[in-house]
Amino acid sequence: MEKRIHTLHLFKGASGAITKNAAIKSEIIDMRHKELSGNFALHMITVGGNVTVTIEVCSTKDGTFMAPTSAVTIFATKTVGSYYAAFSPPTAAFMKIVFTENDTSPVTSLNAWLNIQ
């Protein structure tokens, strides 16, 4: 079967604004039909602040999302700029990407895309 890259646009501009010491989360990403072979990557462009990007997972769509026991940090303390990183999520049916501002200043604009093969 042919493999393709699927891109999910998580945040664009003002929808990706984060206030100081706060976090924003992506919509629920359904992983039930994705191949968990480590072919995940996040592209983030940020203006202002200092952002850490992690994931939360859950076994049910309506359940409580939480950080996995072995925490997955996609980016740690990234400032203004454009970043791209591959990562491997744990086996979970549903996932959210969490963008947290680390007590510096509000992020005025954040664009983020998740690439999945």
pLDDT at 104 over 60: yes
> What is the per-residue pLDDT for 48?
84
For residue 97, the enclosing domain spans 6-116
Domain count, the chain: 1
User: In this structure, are residues 95 and 60 in contact, taking their beta carbons and an 8 Å threshold?
Assistant: no
> What is the per-residue pLDDT for 109?
85
> What is the per-residue pLDDT for 38?
59
Residue 54: inside a domain? yes
Residue 1: inside a domain? no
Which residues does 1 contact at the CB level (< 8 Å), separation at least 6?
none
Residue 31: inside a domain? yes
User: In this structure, are residues 90 and 26 in contact, taking their beta carbons and an 8 Å threshold?
Assistant: no
- Give the tens place of pLDDT for each residue, 66-90: 999 988 899 998 888 999 999 988 8
Assign residue 10 the CATH number of its domain.
2.60.120.380
- Give the tens place of pLDDT for each residue, 18-62: 989 999 999 999 988 776 665 899 999 988 889 999 999 999 999
